[in-house]
C-alpha cells in the first residue's frame, strides 16, 4: 500500500468518525422511531409493493404507531392508528402542518414563485388562502346550499339518464362518465352555472392534467421524491408543466371574466365569493393582496383537490353496489320508503336516509381513497408519542390504518355498512368520529362539506333512478391502483332504469 493510500484512508476514517461522533452528540437523549431496513438512495420505495397501505399495516404491527422510513431522498415518519394520527394532527404550534417540497410542489410553485394552497408550506400566504377559500365554500355549503343542491341534482339526474341510455344493454366503463359528472359539477360551482364557455372542452383538459398529477404525486412515486430523477427523465416533468399551463390558461380566462363582471351584491360562484371575502377581510391587508395570479392558484387547487377525490369516491361506491347487490337493494328500499319516486332525493332527506349514509361511510372507510393523506412536514423539532421527530422530516398520516384498526373496527376487512348504525335508526357517533377520510387537524380537507353534499346527492339520486348490475363475465376486482388518490381497476357495469 502506498503512503498516499494510507494517508487517504486515515483522513477518510477520521472524517467518518468525526461525523459519527457529531451525530451521536446531536442525538444524545433523543429517541427516534425504528423502522424497516431500506436501500441506499431510493430508501424504502422498492419495498412498498403493489398495495402500499397493506405493506404499511405490516410495518405498523412490527414497529408500532410511529415508525421511520426513507421516502426516496426524504427522512420520513409514518404515523399510524387513531390516537397517534390525532395527536400528530392536533400537535401544538402546528409542528406537523407543513408540506414538503416534493418535485410536484416545485412545479406547482414555479408558476407564481410562492406557496400554493393545498401543497403549500405552512406560511402566512397559505393561511390567508385557506381562510378565503373556506369562507367562500362555507357560503355555499350553509347559507346558500340551494345553489349546490340545484346544480348537483340537475347534473345527477342527467347523469342517471345517460347511464341507462348507454349501459342498459351493453355493459361499459361508467367511471369515465362519473369523472365527467364530477368535473362538470365542480367546474360550474367554481366558475358559474350554465356559463357560455365550452364546459366540455375545459373539462377534458382538466381531467387530463389531474390524471398526470395523480400519477406523479402518488405514494411511492419515485419522480416526486427523488429530485435528481427530473434530470434523468426531464420529459415527464415537462409533460406535467404543459398540462398545468393548459389548465392555467382556462382559469385565467375565467378569473379575468369574473373580475370584469363582479358585482358585490350578486355572488354567483366560488370565484366571486373569494373576491368578495378578500374585500371584506381587513386582516393582513398590508401583507397579502389577492392578485389575479393568487386567485388563479387557489381556484386551481380547489379544482385539483376537489375533482379527483370526489370522482374516485363515487366510482368506488358504484363498484361496491355492483359487487354487493343486497346492500344496493337495501339502499333503494330505504330511498323508496322515505322519499318515494315522485321527486328526487334532496338534502333535507339526509337525516332520514340513515342506511344510505352508512353505505357512503363504509365505502370511504374500507377503501380510504387517500390512504396517506397529503404529505405533512415537520416545521420544527417536536415530540410525537414519546419519539423525537426532527425539523424537515416528512410526516405521513396513515389514514388507512385509522380505518382498519382491528381493535376498534373488529372486522375491518369486511364490507359491512351496518357497523355505522347504532340502533338501526341513527348513525353511531363514535364510529363516525373515527373516520378520517378528510384527515384531521389544521390541514383537514377544506372541501369536506361540499364533498359530503355532492356525494350524498349524486349517489342517492343514481340509486333512486338506476339499478347497477355486475355483468356475468365481470370479476369486479376491489384491489386499488395506487396514486395520490387510489382508484379502482377499470370495471364494466350494466345499468337498468328502476320502475
CB of 331 to ligand HEM, least distance (A): 18
CB of 348 to ligand HEM, least distance (A): 21
User: Is there a contact between 234 and 107 (Cβ–Cβ < 8 Å)?
Assistant: no
Q: Binder to ligand HEM among 213, 438, 486, 491 (CB under 6 A)?
A: 438
The Cα–Cα gap between 277 and 288 comes to 13
Closest CA to 278 of 296, 290, 291, 295: 290
118 binds ligand HEM (CB under 6 A): yes
For 283-322, the DSSP string reads TTTTT----HHHHHHHHHHHHHHHHHHHHHHHHHHHHHHH
The Cα–Cα gap between 479 and 49 comes to 13
Q: Among residue numbers 375 through 404, which ones bind ligand HEM (CB under 6 A)?
A: 397
Q: How many helices (H) and strands (E) does the chain have?
A: 19, 10
CA dihedral sign of residues 423, 424, 425, 427: positive
Bridge partner residues of 384 (DSSP): 387
**CB of 304 or CB of 470, closer to ligand HEM:** 304
With left for phi above 0 and alpha for psi between -120 and 50, is residue 105 left, alpha or beta?
alpha
For 7-72, the DSSP string reads HHHHHHHHHHHHHHHHHHHHTTT--PPP----BTTTBTGGGS-S-HHHHHHHHHHHH-SEEEEEET
CB of 492 to ligand HEM, least distance (A): 23
447 binds ligand HEM (CB under 6 A): yes
Near ligand HEM by CB under 6 A, which window of 164-172, 207-215, 255-263, 438-446? 438-446
33 binds ligand HEM (CB under 6 A): no
Pairing of strands 74-80, 66-71: antiparallel
Q: Binder to ligand HEM among 199, 374, 421, 481 (CB under 6 A)?
A: 374
Pairing of strands 394-398, 74-80: parallel
The DSSP letter of residue 101 is -
308 binds ligand HEM (CB under 6 A): no
The site map against ligand HEM for 252-291 (x = CB under 6 A) is: ----------------------------------------
Near ligand HEM by CB under 6 A, which window of 43-51, 205-213, 303-311, 334-342? 303-311
Bridge partner residues of 387 (DSSP): 384
With left for phi above 0 and alpha for psi between -120 and 50, is residue 69 left, alpha or beta?
beta
439 binds ligand HEM (CB under 6 A): yes
**CB of 438 or CB of 459, closer to ligand HEM:** 438
User: Is there a contact between 436 and 443 (Cβ–Cβ < 8 Å)?
Assistant: no
**CB of 167 or CB of 400, closer to ligand HEM:** 400
Near ligand HEM by CB under 6 A, which window of 66-74, 243-251, 321-329, 431-439? 431-439
Q: Binder to ligand HEM among 302, 319, 367, 463 (CB under 6 A)?
A: 302
The beta strand positions in 160-241, using DSSP E, are: none
**CB of 300 or CB of 463, closer to ligand HEM:** 300
**CB of 43 or CB of 441, closer to ligand HEM:** 441
Q: Please report, to the nearest 10 degrees, the dihedral formed by the alpha carbons of residues 41, 42, 46, 52 taken in order.
A: 140
The Cα–Cα gap between 35 and 32 comes to 10
Backbone angles phi, psi at 250, to 5 degrees: -60, -45
How many residues touch ligand HEM under the rule CB under 6 A: the total is: 25
370 binds ligand HEM (CB under 6 A): yes
Q: Please report, to the nearest 10 degrees, the dihedral formed by the alpha carbons of residues 109, 112, 115, 119 taken in order.
A: -40
Q: Binder to ligand HEM among 147, 437, 457, 462 (CB under 6 A)?
A: 437
Q: Binder to ligand HEM among 76, 80, 104, 313 (CB under 6 A)?
A: 313
- At a CB cut-off of 8 Å and minimum separation 6, what does 476 contact? 319, 322, 323, 470, 491
Q: Binder to ligand HEM among 345, 451, 468, 484 (CB under 6 A)?
A: 451
Near ligand HEM by CB under 6 A, which window of 69-77, 199-207, 342-350, 434-442? 434-442
Q: Binder to ligand HEM among 59, 74, 117, 318 (CB under 6 A)?
A: 117
Near ligand HEM by CB under 6 A, which window of 146-154, 369-377, 385-393, 459-467? 369-377
Q: Among residue numbers 125 through 184, which ones bind ligand HEM (CB under 6 A)?
A: 130
Chain position whose Cβ is nearest to ligand HEM = 447
CB of 262 to ligand HEM, least distance (A): 20
Near ligand HEM by CB under 6 A, which window of 39-47, 229-237, 272-280, 309-317? 309-317
Q: Binder to ligand HEM among 309, 357, 401, 458 (CB under 6 A)?
A: 309
Contact residues toward ligand HEM (CB under 6 A) are: 117-118, 130, 301-302, 305-306, 309-310, 313, 369-370, 373-374, 397, 437-439, 443-447, 450-451
Amino acid at each position: 500500500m502506498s503512503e498516499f493510500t494510507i494517508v487517504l484512508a486515515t483522513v477518510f476514517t477520521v472524517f467518518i468518525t468525526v461525523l459519527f461522533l457529531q451525530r451521536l452528540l446531536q442525538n444524545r437523549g433523543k429517541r427516534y422511531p425504528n423502522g424497516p431496513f431500506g436501500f441506499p438512495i431510493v430508501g424504502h420505495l422498492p419495498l412498498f409493493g403493489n398495495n402500499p397501505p397493506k405493506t404499511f399495516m405490516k410495518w405498523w404491527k412490527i414497529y408500532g404507531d410511529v415508525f421511520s422510513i426513507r421516502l426516496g431522498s426524504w427522512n420520513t415518519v409514518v404515523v399510524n392508528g387513531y390516537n397517534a394520527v390525532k395527536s400528530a394532527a392536533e400537535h401544538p404550534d402546528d409542528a406537523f402542518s407543513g408540506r414538503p417540497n416534493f418535485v410536484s410542489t416545485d412545479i406547482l410553485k414555479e408558476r407564481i414563485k410562492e406557496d400554493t394552497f393545498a401543497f403549500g408550506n405552512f406560511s402566512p400566504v397559505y393561511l390567508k388562502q385557506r381562510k378565503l377559500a373556506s369562507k367562500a365554500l362555507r357560503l355555499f355549503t350553509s347559507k346558500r346550499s340551494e345553489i349546490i343542491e340545484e346544480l348537483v341534482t340537475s347534473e345527477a339526474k342527467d347523469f342517471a339518464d345517460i347511464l341507462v341510455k348507454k349501459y342498459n344493454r351493453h355493459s361499459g366503463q361508467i367511471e369515465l362518465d362519473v369523472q365527467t359528472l364530477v368535473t362538470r359539477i365542480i367546474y360550474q360551482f367554481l366558475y358559474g352555472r350554465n356559463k357560455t364557455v365550452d364546459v366540455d372542452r375545459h373539462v377534458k383538459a382538466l381531467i387530463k392534467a389531474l390524471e398526470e398529477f395523480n400519477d406523479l404525486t402518488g405514494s411511492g412515486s419515485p419522480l416526486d421524491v427523488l429530485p435528481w430523477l427530473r434530470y434523468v427523465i426531464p420529459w415527464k416533468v415537462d409533460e406535467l408543466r404543459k398540462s398545468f399551463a393548459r389548465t392555467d390558461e382556462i382559469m385565467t380566462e375565467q378569473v379575468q371574466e369574473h373580475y370584469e363582471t363582479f358585482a358585490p351584491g350578486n355572488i354567483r360562484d366560488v370565484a366571486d365569493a373569494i373576491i368578495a371575502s378578500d374585500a371584506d377581510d381587513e386582516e393582513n391587508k398590508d401583507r397579502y393582496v389577492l392578485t389575479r395570479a393568487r386567485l388563479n392558484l387557489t381556484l386551481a387547487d380547489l379544482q385539483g383537490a376537489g375533482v379527483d377525490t370526489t370522482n374516485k369516491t363515487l366510482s368506488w361506491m358504484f363498484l361496491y353496489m355492483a359487487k354487493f347487490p343486497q346492500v344496493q337493494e337495501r339502499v333503494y328500499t330505504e330511498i323508496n320508503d322515505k322519499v318515494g319516486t315522485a321527486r328526487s332525493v334532496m338534502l333535507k332527506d339526509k337525516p332520514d336516509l340513515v342506511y344510505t349514509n352508512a353505505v357512503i361511510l363504509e365505502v370511504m372507510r374500507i377503501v380510504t381513497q387517500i390512504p396517506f393523506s397529503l404529505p405533512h412536514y415537520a416545521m420544527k423539532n417536536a415530540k410525537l408519542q414519546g419519539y423525537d421527530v426532527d425539523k424537515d422530516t416528512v410526516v405521513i398520516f396513515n389514514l388507512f390504518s385509522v380505518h382498519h384498526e382491528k381493535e376498534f373496527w373488529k372486522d375491518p376487512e369486511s364490507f359491512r355498512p351496518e357497523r355505522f348504525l347504532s340502533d338501526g335508526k341513527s348513525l353511531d357517533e363514535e364510529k363516525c368520529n373515527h373516520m378520517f377520510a378528510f384527515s384531521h387537524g389544521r390541514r383537514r380537507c377544506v372541501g369536506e362539506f361540499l364533498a359530503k353534499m355532492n356525494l350524498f346527492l349524486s349517489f342517492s339520486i343514481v340509486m333512486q333512478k338506476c339499478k347497477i348490475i355486475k355483468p356475468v363475465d365481470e370479476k369486479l376486482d376491489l384491489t386499488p391502483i395506487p396514486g395520490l388518490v387510489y382508484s379502482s381497476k377499470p370495471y364494466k357495469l350494466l345499468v337498468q332504469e328502476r320502475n
